[in-house]
């Protein structure tokens, strides 16, 4: 192909497209490389002694309230899921529905427990399923589960694509993290301090008083000492003190079972929030692999753009 014979529109499209691909590939290469270095260089903290702020944790996953979630397409018990339902269009697959679990789960590293809020996280799941069907919702609820960790997962995923019936109208995908899985996490860590606990107790006291007010007969029976049918200021003070004593006792009894530590997305957008079922070394290698692929695309697209411009104008 003689670049000099191309019309201005075709040449401009090819030059701009290859240049944009080079710039985008370079961005992704640096992005993945930065994540690989972050995973490799950040020391792992223990939840009990972790400093407040951006930290790295490793532990086992558990449901927050004892009962695991159910993934929407396969009904699998899990602590986190992400799913997508697509319909075959004239040219490509159209997304009909997608989503991921916003609910927190617990990370336990053997010293203490930490509540993980997965919203905004870059999640590497334990496994994923990809399958096809002819209905809006899948009839098959036990599709093959492709582990993320082994390199053979890429081959298995390609085999599933190849075996798909060309007449299938719908494509389903689901990713999961299960109770008991070991999880690598890096994000913003904070512990519920005395001030936050005081605010919680104050809110519980307010709710308790509202509930008692709604039972006027019971309130009068317990605290209307002069039997005038009203709660005067002195009697109301006793109501408040009694409610506060009960709230403080209930709060103290529940404290050993409460999760006082939190991990979530950092307010600084430059600090990624990573959750991965891959071990630390595997995760770093995963990001370095993608950085290498993006670097190769950058070199190829950059060479193509340079060739087009050089042949056109020189």
Note whether 50 and 157 are same-domain residues.
yes
Note whether 149 and 58 are same-domain residues.
yes
Note whether 224 and 282 are same-domain residues.
no
User: What is the C-alpha separation between 32 and 200, in angstroms, rounded?
Assistant: 40
For the stretch 86-117, pLDDT in tens is 999 888 899 999 999 999 999 999 998 999 99
Q: How many domains does the chain have?
A: 2
Pairing between β-strand 77-78 and β-strand 69-70 as defined by DSSP bridges:
antiparallel
Where is pLDDT greater, at 244 or 249? 244
End residue of a domain, out of 235, 257, 279? 257
149 has a pLDDT exceeding 70: no
- Side-chain half-sphere of 206: how many Cα atoms within 13 Å? 6
Note whether 27 and 39 are same-domain residues.
yes
End residue of a domain, out of 257, 278, 300? 257
pLDDT of residue 133: 92
pLDDT of residue 2: 63
pLDDT of residue 290: 85
User: What is the C-alpha separation between 214 and 204, in angstroms, rounded?
Assistant: 16
Give me the count of residues in the chain: 314
Query: Would you say 69 and 80 are in contact if contact means Cβ atoms under 8 Å apart?
Result: yes
The proportion of the chain whose per-residue pLDDT surpasses 90, expressed as a percent, equals 38
End residue of a domain, out of 242, 257, 272? 257
150 has a pLDDT exceeding 60: no
Note whether 38 and 171 are same-domain residues.
yes
Note whether 54 and 199 are same-domain residues.
no
Note whether 90 and 214 are same-domain residues.
no
Determine the average pLDDT of the residues in 249-256: 65
Where is pLDDT greater, at 55 or 244? 55
Note whether 38 and 55 are same-domain residues.
yes
> Which residue from 119, 105, 281 is spatially nearest to 180, judged by alpha carbons?
105
Note whether 304 and 167 are same-domain residues.
yes
Note whether 126 and 168 are same-domain residues.
yes
Note whether 143 and 204 are same-domain residues.
no
Q: List, in sequence order, every residue forming a beta bridge with 189; answer none if it has no partner.
A: 53, 263
Determine the average pLDDT of the residues in 3-8: 65
Query: Over the Cα atoms of the chain, what is R_g?
Result: 28
User: What is the C-alpha separation between 205 and 66, in angstroms, rounded?
Assistant: 26
The residues, ordered by sequence, that sit 6+ positions from 43 with a Cβ below 8 Å of its Cβ are 56
Note whether 186 and 197 are same-domain residues.
no
Q: b/e for 198-228, b at 16 or more Cβ within 10 A?
A: eeebeebbeebbeebeeeeeebeeebeeeee
For the stretch 47-101, pLDDT in tens is 989 999 999 999 999 998 788 999 999 999 999 999 999 999 888 899 999 999 9
Domain ranges, residue 231: 193-257
Q: List, in sequence order, every residue forming a beta bridge with 182; answer none if it has no partner.
A: 60
The residues, ordered by sequence, that sit 6+ positions from 178 with a Cβ below 8 Å of its Cβ are 61, 68, 76, 77, 78, 79, 126
């Amino acid at each position: 192909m003689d670049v000099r014979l191309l019309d201005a529109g075709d040449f401009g499209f090819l030059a701009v497209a290859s240049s944009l691909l080079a710039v985008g590939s370079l961005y992704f290469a640096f992005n993945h490389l930065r994540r690989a270095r972050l995973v490799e260089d950040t020391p792992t903290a223990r939840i009990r002694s972790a400093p407040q702020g951006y930290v790295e944790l490793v532990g086992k996953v558990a449901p927050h309230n004892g009962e695991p979630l159910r993934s929407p397409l396969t009904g699998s018990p899990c602590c986190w899921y992400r799913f997508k339902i697509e319909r075959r269009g004239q040219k490509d697959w159209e997304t009909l529905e997608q989503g991921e679990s916003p609910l927190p789960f617990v990370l336990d590293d053997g010293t203490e427990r930490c509540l993980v809020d997965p919203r905004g996280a870059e999640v590497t799941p334990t496994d994923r399923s990809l399958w096809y069907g002819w209905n809006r919702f899948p009839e098959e609820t036990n599709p093959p589960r492709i582990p993320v960790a082994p390199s053979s997962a890429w081959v298995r995923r390609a085999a599933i694509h190849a075996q798909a019936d060309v007449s299938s109208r719908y494509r389903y995908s689901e990713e999961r993290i299960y109770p008991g899985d070991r999880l690598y996490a890096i994000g913003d860590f904070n512990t519920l301090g005395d001030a936050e606990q005081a605010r919680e107790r104050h809110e519980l006291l307010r709710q308790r008083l509202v509930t008692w007010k709604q039972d006027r007969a019971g309130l009068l029976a317990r605290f209307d000492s002069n039997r005038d049918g009203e709660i005067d200021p002195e009697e109301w003070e006793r109501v408040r003190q009694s409610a506060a004593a009960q709230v403080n006792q209930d709060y103290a009894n529940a404290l050993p079972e409460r999760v006082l530590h939190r991990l979530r997305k950092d307010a600084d957008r430059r600090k990624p929030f990573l959750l991965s079922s891959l071990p630390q070394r595997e995760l770093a290698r995963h990001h370095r692999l993608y950085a290498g692929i993006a670097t190769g695309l950058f070199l190829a697209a950059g060479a193509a753009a340079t060739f087009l411009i050089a042949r056109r104008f020189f």
